[in-house]
Amino acid sequence: MLGSKKINIVSSLLLVTLAAIMGGCSKYLDAAPNKSYVIPSTLKDFQALLDNYNILNNVDMSVGEISADNYYLNYADWAALSDEGQRRMYTWEKDYFFQFNAGDWRRPYAAVYYANTVLDNIDNVDRNAANAMQWDNVLGQALFVRAKTYCQLTAAFTKAYNPVTAPTDMGIPLRTNSDFNIVAVRSSLAETYNTIIADLKTSAALLPVTPVHVMRPCKTAAYALLARTYLNIGNYDSSLRYADLCLQLKSNLLDFNTLTASATYPIPQFNAEVIYESFMPTPAPLNNSRAKIDSALYQSFASNDLRKTVFFKDNGNGSVGFKGSYEGGTAPFSGIAVDEVLLIRAESSARKNDKTNALNDLNTLLIKRYKTGLFAPVTAIDANDALDKILVERRKELLMRGLRWPDLKRLNFEGRNITIKRVLNQVTYTLPPNDLRYALPIPEDVIKLSNIQQNPR
C-alpha cells in the first residue's frame, strides 16, 4: 500500500526494528540507517506507514491458535513438521518454541514500532482547521494499532487476568515510544491492560465511524476491541457498554443461506460483518490439509446448522478440515467482526443476569446461521443456563480466529475446569486448568539479549 517514495521510510524503520524489539541492546545500534532515507514528517508520510498491510494487518500471531484445542494433528503430520518449535508448541512443552528472531515476537513489536513512530512525530505537524480530521484519524489509527498488538501479545504471553494479583503479575514489555535505546522491561499485567484501554479509549474519540477500508481502524473497531479487552479481564459492565456502542454503529450479519456452502472457501474476504481486517499467515500446523477439527466440536453442530458445511470440508478419511475463514482462503481471520461483538454483548448480558437480552443477541446471530425456516430459538431456564449456551456457541462461531486460547485462560480462571489434551503415537499430553504453560514462553534469544524475565514454567 505504500507509495514508492515511502519504501525508504519502511526500509529505514526495519533496520532498527530488531533493536527496538530486543530491548535496546547497544550492539544493534552500531550501524545507523542510511542518511538518505526519508524521515516521516507529514500526515501523508504517517498514513503511508499505517497503510503497510504487510506489517500491520497480515502478521497476526498464531501461537495461541496452534496451542489451542480447536484442532488436532495425526502423528505423521506432526512428525513431518519442519519446525521443531511448532512440534513442541503443539504438545505444550515448557520452552524452546521459537527459532531465532521469531516472527510471533518480532512482528508484533515491529507493528508497535510503526505506531510509535507516528505517535512520536505527529506533534511536529500543526493541527489546524484544514487538517484536523486527518490529523485526528492518523493519531487514532496509531493508538489502535499499538493497542491491538498489545492485546495479542498479552493473550499469548501472560497468565489469566486476576484483579487481585494483576498489579504484581507480569505483563508484557510496553514500548511507548520509538526510542530503541530505552531498555525493555516487563510491565505488570494491570499496567499492560491499563495502557491498552487508555489507547483504545483515546483512539475511539479520534477515529471516524466508517473507515476508507476495513484494513484501517475506525471508531467501531476501537469500541469492539474495548469490548473484547474488558471481557478478557472480567469487567462485564464495560464489555457490555462497548459492545453495545459498537453494534449501534455496525450490526450487519451474513445470512449463511446466501453463501455457496460447497465452495472451496464460501465466506468472502472483506464481507459485510468485518469491522477490522487482519489475519494470521497460515502456520504449518494450522494448514487445513493437516489440521483436523476436533471431532466432538464438529459433531456439536446440528444438521440444519449451515456452519457445518460452510465452515468444514470433508477430508475423505473420517476427519474434517476448516474452510470458514473470513479471509476467503486458507489464512485464518483474526480481525474483528460483528458476530464476535454480538456474542460479547450476549455473554456480558448473561453475566449481568439479563437472560432476555442475552438470548435475543444469541438468537439474532443463530437465525442467520441455520437453514431458513429450520431454526428453533434458543431458550434458557435462567441467566446461568443462557451463559452456558452462549459459551458453547461462542466456541463454535469464533473457530480458528485466535480467540480460543485467551478464552481457555479466562474460563478456567473462573472455574470452568477445562483440561485439554493431545494424543500422538498413543502418548497423551494434557494441559490442566490454570497451568503455568498458558503463559507461553518468551523466545529464549529475546530473554538472553534483553534480560527481561521469563514466564515461570
| pLDDT tens-digit map of 30-43 | 333 444 456 789 99
Tell me the C-alpha distance between 457 and 441, whole Å.
8
Question: Residue with C-alpha cell 505444550?
Answer: 92
Q: How confident is the model at residue 13 (pLDDT cuts 50, 70, 90)?
A: very low
Percent of the chain predicted with pLDDT > 90:
86
pTM across the whole model:
0.93
The per-residue DSSP string of 205-265 comes to: HHS-SS-SSTTS--HHHHHHHHHHHHHHTT-HHHHHHHHHHHHHH------GGGS-TTSSS
CA 416 to chain centre: 22
Q: What average pLDDT does range 180-207 have in this prediction?
A: 94
Distance between CA atoms of residues 419 and 434, nearest Å = 9
Report whether pLDDT(77) > 80.
yes
The Cα 77–Cα 73 span in angstroms is: 6
State the pLDDT at residue 18: 40
| Identity of residue 156 | A
Label residue 177 by pLDDT band (50, 70, 90): confident
Length of the chain: 457
Report residue 100's pLDDT band, with 50, 70 and 90 as the boundaries.
Answer: low
Please provide the average confidence, as pLDDT, over all residues in the chain: 92
For residue range 379-426, list pLDDT tens digits in order: 999 999 999 999 999 999 999 999 999 999 999 999 999 999 999 999
Per-residue pLDDT for 1 more than 50? no
The H or E element containing residue 420 is strand 420-424
Q: What are phi and psi of 285, to 5 degrees?
A: -65, -25
Q: What does the pLDDT average to over 138-148?
A: 98
Integer angstrom CA distances of residue 101 from 62, 289, 449: 15, 27, 11
Mean pLDDT for the stretch of residues 188-203: 98
Mean pLDDT of 242-267: 98
pLDDT surpassing 50 at residue 149: yes
Q: Any idea which residue has 477490522 for its cell?
A: 276
pLDDT band at 148 (very low <50, low <70, confident <90, very high): very high
Domains of the chain: 4-257+334-450 (1.25.40.390)
pLDDT average, residue stretch 77-81: 97
Predicted confidence (pLDDT) at residue 451 exceeds the cutoff of 80: yes
Residue 20 pLDDT class (50, 70, 90 cuts): very low
- What is the per-residue pLDDT for 101? 65
Is residue 430 helix, strand or coil?
strand
β-partners of residue 170 are: 188
Backbone angles phi, psi at 169, to 5 degrees: -65, 150
Q: Is the pLDDT of residue 73 over 80?
A: yes
Q: State pLDDT tens for residues 272-315.
A: 999 999 999 999 999 999 999 999 999 999 999 999 999 999 99
Does the pLDDT of residue 357 top 70, yes or no?
Answer: yes
8-12, 179-183, 322-326: which has the highest mean pLDDT?
322-326
| 242-276: burial string, b at 16+ Cβ within 10 Å, e else | bbbbbbeebeebbebeebebeeebbbebebebbbb
In this predicted structure, what is the pLDDT of residue 180? 75
The residues, ordered by sequence, that sit 6+ positions from 122 with a Cβ below 8 Å of its Cβ are 43, 46, 135, 138, 139, 142
